[in-house]
């Protein structure tokens, strides 16, 4: 009998085939290895051993899903300066300094200063321990890179450079998992540095928490916000052919289960908007989209906004996250969780269940289909609660297991922060109202959790991602130069 994990894997593979993910710029990792050149003539066998370790480290990095610039092995401050210039030109998302033996801080400080790129220091001795009875001084020196770590940490702090390190041994998989966590964090930094966020329509009236200064994203992350109008979508809707609409409806039938409440005319409209939405994203090269339009009495722009859910869900499934209610910060959080390989669906609190001790979460509008416990459902709605319009909506229950919430908080000085909380989606009764829904157990009184979560400045929307990923997002916040808060 197929397990839940088996069925989830099959469903994910099918979605991958039907909705091929978008491709983005690969994460760029800079690597430089080094040791103190004074040792080489003193202990002739040492440098070849250290270079062999450096080659192993470089090979491990090449196996990761990243573009690696290896600046080679440095032995003194002049070589360190040359490596700094090479890595500066490479425009890396993270630079890794591999300390193979003791080296002086003067050899590596220029690399951090001139590149303007976050740095990770790693020291991986050749094995778990020395052979004390057999080792001489030259053998020991291959194990003493840790001596440099506090020196580099001190100098970085005095230079105002954030310090990060992973210490271990060369074939220690737990150390490599910690290193890979920083690579995933660099992937998030890369995505936000180069992201083009679409912002279409206008803010939901009265929601003061969702209002975000687009310039803040440019100054904090380097992102670009493309301000769009629903007329940009309208123009593309007018160019969609009937054949394209039928083709999109056929795709939707493969992806979704259609509830009997779905009205064919509304389904066709959602499919038409979906085709146009794909063109909008392609034309403006968008990495995410946040949207809202209030509308009035069924006029065209209201119908466009009401027809977004199908297409926005398909885009989210392909790795271009979409969020309703003009929630720019949440679409950014969704992009971060997507690039961490954890999906990420537009989410808010729906209710509390004090008997079962869970927080019920979800949202109307677009969902991340890869998070589903079963095939997503298209449900026809005559009313979108709190919004004008009608049409087809996506109903999805999140599969059981560990999840992480990631939201973008904002403080009085305008600074952004990553806010996370880890929980577990558990079984229980769910509403069937055309929403994404889940029951999350945070292992504490749900009311107390709401109070703690709300005190972080997170706002009332966030991204719900699969797996326990707080460590990844904490590392990403470090690379992005923002605070991280965990509930």
Domain ranges of the chain: 27-192, 195-486
Place of tokens 């992806």: 255
Place of tokens 């790693």: 122
Structure tokens at 109: 């400080």
pLDDT at 381: 79
Structure tokens at 268: 């066709």
Whether 27-192 shares its CATH topology with 195-486 is answered no
Return the ∠ at Cα 152 (arms to 151 and 155), rounded to 5°: 90
Provide the H-helix boundaries in 105-256: 109-115, 137-141, 148-158, 173-194, 214-220, 230-237, 242-255
pLDDT at 14: 76
In the CATH hierarchy, which top-level class contains the domain 27-192? alpha beta
Measure Cα distances from 358 to 407, 430, 438, 439, 482 in Å: 19, 12, 9, 6, 30
Question: 0.75 cut: is pTM over it?
Answer: yes
For residue 417, which of 403, 426, 406 has the smallest C-alpha distance?
A: 406
pLDDT at 13: 67
Per-residue burial over 359-381, b if 16 or more Cβ lie within 10 Å, else e, is bbbbbbbbbbbbbbbeebbbbbb
pLDDT at 12: 64
Structural fold of domain 195-486: L-fucose Isomerase; Chain A, domain 3 (3.20.14)
Q: What are phi and psi of 352, to 5 degrees?
A: -115, 140
Measure Cα distances from 345 to 122, 321, 371 in Å: 34, 8, 8
Average confidence (pLDDT) per 10 residues, the chain, 487 residues: 50 77 90 96 96 95 91 96 94 96 95 93 95 93 94 96 96 96 96 96 91 93 96 97 97 93 94 97 97 90 92 95 94 95 92 95 87 88 73 89 96 95 94 86 97 95 95 97 96
For residue 433, what are the contacts with CB-CB under 8 A and spacing of at least 6? 364, 379, 381, 395
pLDDT at 28: 95
pLDDT at 274: 97
């Amino acid at each position: 009998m197929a397990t839940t994990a088996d069925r989830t894997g099959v469903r994910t593979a099918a979605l991958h085939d039907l909705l091929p993910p978008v491709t983005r710029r690969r994460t760029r990792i800079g690597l430089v290895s080094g040791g103190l050149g004074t040792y080489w003539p003193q202990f002739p066998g040492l440098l070849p051993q250290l270079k062999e370790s450096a080659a192993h480290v470089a090979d491990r990095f090449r196996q990761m899903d990243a573009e690696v610039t290896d600046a080679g092995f440095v032995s003194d401050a002049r070589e360190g300066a040359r490596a700094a210039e090479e890595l500066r030109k490479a425009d890396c998302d993270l630079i890794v300094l591999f300390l193979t033996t003791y080296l002086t801080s003067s050899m590596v400080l220029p690399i951090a200063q001139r590149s303007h790129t976050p740095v990770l220091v790693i020291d991986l001795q050749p094995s778990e321990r020395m052979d004390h009875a057999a080792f001489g001084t030259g053998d020991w020196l291959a194990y003493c890179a840790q001596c440099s770590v506090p020196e580099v940490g001190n100098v970085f702090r005095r230079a105002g450079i954030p310090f990060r390190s992973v210490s271990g041994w060369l074939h220690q998989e737990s150390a490599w998992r910690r290193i890979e966590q920083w690579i995933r964090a660099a992937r998030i930094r890369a995505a936000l540095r180069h992201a083009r966020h679409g912002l279409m329509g206008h803010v939901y009236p009265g929601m003061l928490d969702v209002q975000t200064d687009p310039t803040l994203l440019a100054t904090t992350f380097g992102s670009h916000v493309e301000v769009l109008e629903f007329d940009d979508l309208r123009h593309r809707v007018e160019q969609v052919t009937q054949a394209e609409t039928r083709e999109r409806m056929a795709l939707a039938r493969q992806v979704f289960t259609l509830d009997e409440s779905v009205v064919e005319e509304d389904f066709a409209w959602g499919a038409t908007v979906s085709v146009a939405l794909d063109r909008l994203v392609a034309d403006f090269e968008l990495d995410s989209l946040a949207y809202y339009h209030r509308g009035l009495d069924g006029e065209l722009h209201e119908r466009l906004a009401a027809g977004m859910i199908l297409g926005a869900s398909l885009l989210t499934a392909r790795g271009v996250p979409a969020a309703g209610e003009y929630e720019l910060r949440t679409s950014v959080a969704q992009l971060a969780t997507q690039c961490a390989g954890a999906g990420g669906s537009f989410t808010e609190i729906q209710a509390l269940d004090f008997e079962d001790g869970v927080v019920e979460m979800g949202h109307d509008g677009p969902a991340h289909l890869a998070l589903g416990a079963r095939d997503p459902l298209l449900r026809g709605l005559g009313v979108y609660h709190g919004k004008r319009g009608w049409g087809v909506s996506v109903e999805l229950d999140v599969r059981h297991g560990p999840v992480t919430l990631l939201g973008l908080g904002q403080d009085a000085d305008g600074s952004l922060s990553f806010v996370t909380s880890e929980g577990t989606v558990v079984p229980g009764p769910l509403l069937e109202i055309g929403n994404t829904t889940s029951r999350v157990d945070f292992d504490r009184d749900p009311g107390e959790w709401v109070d703690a979560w709300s005190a972080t400045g997170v706002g009332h929307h966030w991204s719900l991602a699969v797996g326990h990923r707080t460590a990844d997002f904490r590392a990403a916040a470090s690379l992005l130069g923002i605070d991280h808060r965990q509930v």
